[in-house]
Structure 1
């Protein structure tokens, strides 16, 4: 993914809505919001991230353009890149929480993939899972980090600043046809 154009550092809007999962006193050194966008669904897809360090917006990222992407592949790619960013942050001693608005993505990686792996990447009915080329490496990376990482669902299109910014970056990546990886 590529870093966004200038103007990427600003103060976090203290009046922005809190995520449903936020608990009083719960703080993280690094908060990563990730999102994917695709228009039309099976079409131009991109992924984006908004990274907050110590409560301040620090970076915006966009990219991973796919001309034949889907909403799910865009969301999975964004989550995979967020895990890569989390790995770097954790290595520097930071506490990290990743926010994702895709229940499919968070469930696929944190809940379902372990069973799919045991069944040879197949569903209970024996059908092959969709998107194994993204799910397998993403799940492996998640497994290596999960003891040092918090994953949180954030409601999409609800005015949560970090999620809205990640969504804009994902759309920008698709519009710019930008294909960059961290």
Structure 2
């Protein structure tokens, strides 16, 4: 089964402002019928990078069996981490970057790695705010979630956002 996951994250007043993510999961069944699911969630205090990670995580965790997945995001933070082998280097170095500093958002990186394990994934970067229809929709979902009513936003304490 081939699936495309489009994802975007947003944070207002980054860091520690409200934020959200938006994700579209698209699958074309054997009869040629397109199926889509949209996922979004808002958090009261977070960062843009955490929301970029959560968007991809939410899409992968929504899949209930192994798939060939094209993850499409405007986040170089997420896409380059896989395409340029940052993640494997961080793991080898005990979650340290090349400059010796600790990798941020380790718990979310670990969660993303776990969610990605059972899938065959292509990581595709697209330029944000450049008219890509699905990226624009994900941005709309993310910003709408970030701007949600205060009592509808989840709390991001920097821990595991489950």
TM-score (norm 1): 0.71
Deviation string 1:91-122 (CA, Å, 9 cap, x unpaired) is 2x754311111011112245211111111111
2:47 to 32, 54, 70: 70
Large movers: runs of 4+ above 4 Å: none
5+ unaligned residues in a row in structure 2: which ranges?
Answer: 155-160
1:169 matched to 2:118? The reply is: no
Give me the TM-score of the superposition, normalised by structure 2: 0.79
Listed as ranges, the matches of 1:49-68 within 5 Å are: 49-54=23-28, 56=34, 58-63=36-41, 65-68=42-45
1:102-159 deviation digits (Å, cap 9, x = unpaired): 01111224521111111111112321111112112212333x135x222211221111
Q: CA offset at residue 48 of structure 1?
A: 0.8
Aligned residues: 148
Q: Which residue of structure 2 lines up, in the alignment, with residue 38 of structure 1?
A: 11
- Report the aligned-residue RMSD: 2.4
2:69 to 96, 111, 132: 96
Q: Deviations over 1:14-61 (max 9, x none)?
A: xxxxxxxxxxxxxx8422111101111121110111222227462221
